[in-house]
Structure 1
Amino acid sequence: MQNQKPPRWLSLLLSRLGDPNTLEEVQGDLLELYAHWVETVGERKARWRYGLSVLKLMRPFAQRNEEYSTSLLSPVMIRNYVKIAFRNLAKSKGYSFINVTGLAVGMACTVVLFLVVKHETSYDRHYANGDRIYRLETENIKEKHSYPGTYTGMANALHADLPEAERVVPLLQVGGTTFADPSSENRYKEKFVFAGNELFQLLDYQWLAGNPKTALSQPNTIVLTRTYAEKYFGSTDVMGKTIRLDDKQNLQVAGILEDYPVTTSFPFNMLVSFSTIKNVNPDYDLNRWNGWNDNFQVYVLLKKGIDPESLTKRFQGIVVKYMGKEALPDKRFFLNSVSNLHYGMNMSGRTANVSLLKTLSFIGLLVLLIACFNFINLSTAQAFKRAKEVGIRKAVGSNRWSLVYQFLTEAGLLTCLAILIAVLLAQLVLPIAAGALAVPITATDLFSWQTGLFTVALAGLTTLLAGVYPAFRLSGMEPIWALKNNTLAQGRPWFSLRQGLVVVQFTVSLILISCAMLINQQLTFFQKADLGFNKEAIITVGLPNNKPEKLQTFRNQLAELPQIKDVSFSFNSASAESNWMQSMQYRKGAEAIDVKTQMKMGDSRFLDTYGIQLLAGEKLRDSDTSSTSFKLLANEIFLDRIGIKHPADAIGEKVYYGDGKEFATIVGVVKNFNVNSLHQKIDPTVIQVVPNNFYQAGIKLQSEKPTAETIQAALARIEEAWTATFPNQVFDYSFLDETLKQAYQSETRTAKLIEVSTFLAVLIACLGLFGLATFTAEQRTKEIGVRKVLGASVGSIIGLLSRDFLKLVLIAVVLASPIAWYAMSEWLRNFEFKIEIQWWIFALTGLLMAAIALLTVSFQSVKAALMNPVKSLRSE
Structure 2
Amino acid sequence: MIKNYFKIAFRNLIRHKSFSALNIAGLAVGMASSILILLWVQHEKSYDRFHAHADEIYRITCEATEEFKAAVNPAGMSPALKSKISTIRNAVRFSHPSTNVMEYGDKKFEENQGFYADPTLLEVFSFPLVKGDRTTAMQRPDAILITEDMAKKYFGHTDPIGKTLKKNDNDLVTVTGVLKNIPANSHLQFDYIMPISAIASTNSDFTTNAWGNFNYYAYIQFDKTFNPTKTNLAALEMQMDDLFKLHNTALKATFHLQPLTSIHLHSNLQIELPGNGNIQYVNILFVVAIFILAVACINFMNLSTARSARRAREVGMRKVIGAGRGHLIGQFLGESILISLIALLIAIALVWLTLPAFNYLSGKALEISIFDIKMLLTLIGIALVTGLISGSYPALFLSGFKPLSVLKGGTKLGGNGNLVFRNTLVVLQFVVSIGLLVGTVVVYNQLHYIRNMNLGFEKSNLIYVPMRGDIWDKQDVYKNELTRNGLTADFTVTDYLPTNIVTGDVNIQWEGKDPNSQLIVPNMAVSERFFDVFQMKMASGRAFSSDFKGDSTNYVINEKLAKIMGLNAATAVGKSISYWDRSGTIIGVVEDFNFKPVQQAIEPMILRFNDWGGTVVVRSQPGSTEATIKALKEINTRLNPGYPFSYGFLDQNLDNLYKSEQRLGSLFNLFAALAIFISCLGLYGLSAFMAEQRFKEIGVRKVLGASVFNVVYLLSRSFIKLILIAIVIAIPIAWYAMDSWLNGFAYRVDAGWLVFVLASVVATAIALLTVSYESIKAAVANPVKSLRTE
TM-score range, shorter chain: over 0.9
For 1:608 and 1:722, how far apart are their aligned partners in 2?
Answer: 23
Please give the per-residue CA displacement for 1:204-249, whole angstroms capped at 9, x wherever unaligned.
2443444434433333322223332222122452333221111122
Counterparts of residues 133-144 of structure 1 (less than 5 Å): 133-143=57-67
The answer to whether residue 156 in structure 2 is matched with residue 231 in structure 1 is no
The AA in structure 2 aligned to 1:695 is G
Task: Tell whether the 8 Å contact from 1:584 to 1:594 is kept in structure 2 after alignment.
Answer: no
Q: 1:563 aligns with which of 487, 494, 499?
A: 487
Partner residue in 2 for 1:62: none
For 2:95 and 2:531, how far apart are their aligned partners in 1?
Answer: 30
Secondary structure, counterpart of 1:574 in structure 2: coil
Secondary structure, counterpart of 2:36 in structure 1: helix
1:437–1:590: structure 2 CA closer, same or farther, 3 Å change rule? closer
Partner residue in 2 for 1:13: none
- Residue 505 of structure 1 and its aligned partner are, at CA, apart by 0.4
The answer to whether residue 310 in structure 2 is matched with residue 389 in structure 1 is no
Partner residue in 2 for 1:688: 608
Task: Tell whether the 8 Å contact from 1:638 to 1:684 is kept in structure 2 after alignment.
Answer: yes
- Residue 486 of structure 1 and its aligned partner are, at CA, apart by 7.0
For 2:769 and 2:468, how far apart are their aligned partners in 1?
Answer: 62
- Residue 156 of structure 1 and its aligned partner are, at CA, apart by 5.4
The answer to whether residue 788 in structure 2 is matched with residue 868 in structure 1 is no
- Residue 622 of structure 1 and its aligned partner are, at CA, apart by 6.6
Counterparts of residues 598-747 of structure 1 (less than 5 Å): 598-621=522-545, 630-657=553-580, 661-691=581-611, 694-703=613-622, 706=623, 710-747=624-661
Runs of 4+ in 1 over 6 A off after TM superposition: 279-286, 345-348, 622-626
Please give the per-residue CA displacement for 1:690-733, whole angstroms capped at 9, x wherever unaligned.
555x4322111123xx3xxx322221121111111221212222
Task: Tell whether the 8 Å contact from 1:653 to 1:665 is kept in structure 2 after alignment.
Answer: yes
For 2:780 and 2:711, how far apart are their aligned partners in 1?
Answer: 9
- Residue 550 of structure 1 and its aligned partner are, at CA, apart by 2.4
Bigger Cα displacement from structure 2, 780-789 vs 161-170: 161-170
The answer to whether residue 399 in structure 2 is matched with residue 399 in structure 1 is no
1:154–1:859: structure 2 CA closer, same or farther, 3 Å change rule? same
Q: 2:107 aligns with which of 172, 185, 191?
A: 185
The answer to whether residue 56 in structure 2 is matched with residue 132 in structure 1 is yes
Partner residue in 1 for 2:226: 305
Structure 1's unaligned 5+ residue stretches are 1-76
Partner residue in 2 for 1:788: 702
Task: Tell whether the 8 Å contact from 1:291 to 1:580 is kept in structure 2 after alignment.
Answer: no
For 1:771 and 1:524, how far apart are their aligned partners in 2?
Answer: 38
1:691–1:200: structure 2 CA closer, same or farther, 3 Å change rule? farther
The AA in structure 2 aligned to 1:269 is D
Task: Tell whether the 8 Å contact from 2:555 to 2:609 is kept in structure 1 after alignment.
Answer: yes
Secondary structure, counterpart of 2:184 in structure 1: coil
For 1:127 and 1:811, how far apart are their aligned partners in 2?
Answer: 51
1:285–1:655: structure 2 CA closer, same or farther, 3 Å change rule? farther
For 2:321 and 2:776, how far apart are their aligned partners in 1?
Answer: 43
For 2:507 and 2:206, how far apart are their aligned partners in 1?
Answer: 21
The AA in structure 2 aligned to 1:254 is T
Please give the per-residue CA displacement for 1:339-360, whole angstroms capped at 9, x wherever unaligned.
1222237986322221111112
The AA in structure 2 aligned to 1:737 is D
Secondary structure, counterpart of 1:831 in structure 2: coil
- Residue 839 of structure 1 and its aligned partner are, at CA, apart by 0.7
- Residue 141 of structure 1 and its aligned partner are, at CA, apart by 2.9
- Residue 757 of structure 1 and its aligned partner are, at CA, apart by 0.7
1:630–1:623: structure 2 CA closer, same or farther, 3 Å change rule? farther
Please give the per-residue CA displacement for 1:732-762, whole angstroms capped at 9, x wherever unaligned.
2221111101111111111111111111100
- Residue 280 of structure 1 and its aligned partner are, at CA, apart by 7.5
Task: Tell whether the 8 Å contact from 2:462 to 2:620 is kept in structure 1 after alignment.
Answer: yes
- Residue 492 of structure 1 and its aligned partner are, at CA, apart by 2.1
1:255–1:280: structure 2 CA closer, same or farther, 3 Å change rule? farther
Partner residue in 2 for 1:809: 723
- Residue 650 of structure 1 and its aligned partner are, at CA, apart by 4.1
The answer to whether residue 348 in structure 2 is matched with residue 423 in structure 1 is yes
Which has the greater radius of gyration?
1
Partner residue in 2 for 1:119: 43
Partner residue in 1 for 2:300: 375
Partner residue in 2 for 1:217: 139
For 1:155 and 1:509, how far apart are their aligned partners in 2?
Answer: 51
Counterparts of residues 501-520 of structure 1 (less than 5 Å): 501-520=425-444
Q: 1:240 aligns with which of 162, 166, 171?
A: 162
Q: 1:276 aligns with which of 179, 198, 214?
A: 198
Partner residue in 1 for 2:336: 411
Partner residue in 2 for 1:3: none
- Residue 607 of structure 1 and its aligned partner are, at CA, apart by 1.6
The AA in structure 1 aligned to 2:432 is V
Partner residue in 2 for 1:262: 184
For 2:158 and 2:554, how far apart are their aligned partners in 1?
Answer: 52
Please give the per-residue CA displacement for 1:449-487, whole angstroms capped at 9, x wherever unaligned.
222111010011011111011011001000111111176
The answer to whether residue 746 in structure 2 is matched with residue 824 in structure 1 is no
The AA in structure 2 aligned to 1:305 is F
Bigger Cα displacement from structure 2, 239-248 vs 617-626: 617-626
For 1:257 and 1:750, how far apart are their aligned partners in 2?
Answer: 32
Please give the per-residue CA displacement for 1:375-418, whole angstroms capped at 9, x wherever unaligned.
00000000011111111111121111111111111111111110
Task: Tell whether the 8 Å contact from 1:586 to 1:642 is kept in structure 2 after alignment.
Answer: no
Partner residue in 2 for 1:497: 421
For 2:773 and 2:32, how far apart are their aligned partners in 1?
Answer: 28
Task: Tell whether the 8 Å contact from 1:370 to 1:764 is kept in structure 2 after alignment.
Answer: yes
Secondary structure, counterpart of 1:583 in structure 2: coil
For 2:730 and 2:128, how far apart are their aligned partners in 1?
Answer: 53
Task: Tell whether the 8 Å contact from 1:639 to 1:650 is kept in structure 2 after alignment.
Answer: no
For 1:348 and 1:440, how far apart are their aligned partners in 2?
Answer: 20
Please give the per-residue CA displacement for 1:229-282, whole angstroms capped at 9, x wherever unaligned.
222122452333221111122212233333333322223331112122267778
Task: Tell whether the 8 Å contact from 1:216 to 1:274 is kept in structure 2 after alignment.
Answer: no
The AA in structure 2 aligned to 1:207 is L
- Aligned residue-pair number: 781
Q: 2:406 aligns with which of 454, 479, 482?
A: 482
For 1:137 and 1:681, how far apart are their aligned partners in 2?
Answer: 22
Q: CA RMSD in A?
A: 2.4
For 1:623 and 1:754, how far apart are their aligned partners in 2?
Answer: 54
- Residue 491 of structure 1 and its aligned partner are, at CA, apart by 2.9
1:286–1:364: structure 2 CA closer, same or farther, 3 Å change rule? farther
For 2:599 and 2:672, how far apart are their aligned partners in 1?
Answer: 25
Q: 2:93 aligns with which of 160, 170, 195?
A: 170
- Residue 516 of structure 1 and its aligned partner are, at CA, apart by 0.3
Give the number of the structure with larger relative contact order, counting CA–CA contacts within 8 Å between residues 6 or more apart.
Answer: 2
Bigger Cα displacement from structure 2, 363-372 vs 125-134: 125-134
Task: Tell whether the 8 Å contact from 2:469 to 2:643 is kept in structure 1 after alignment.
Answer: no
1:342–1:283: structure 2 CA closer, same or farther, 3 Å change rule? closer
Task: Tell whether the 8 Å contact from 2:204 to 2:210 is kept in structure 1 after alignment.
Answer: no
Task: Tell whether the 8 Å contact from 1:155 to 1:170 is kept in structure 2 after alignment.
Answer: yes
1:257–1:784: structure 2 CA closer, same or farther, 3 Å change rule? closer
1:235–1:99: structure 2 CA closer, same or farther, 3 Å change rule? same
Please give the per-residue CA displacement for 1:526-559, whole angstroms capped at 9, x wherever unaligned.
0110001110100122222486542333222222
Task: Tell whether the 8 Å contact from 2:569 to 2:589 is kept in structure 1 after alignment.
Answer: no
Task: Tell whether the 8 Å contact from 2:430 to 2:679 is kept in structure 1 after alignment.
Answer: yes
1:456–1:625: structure 2 CA closer, same or farther, 3 Å change rule? farther
TM-score (norm 1): 0.85
Task: Tell whether the 8 Å contact from 2:75 to 2:205 is kept in structure 1 after alignment.
Answer: no
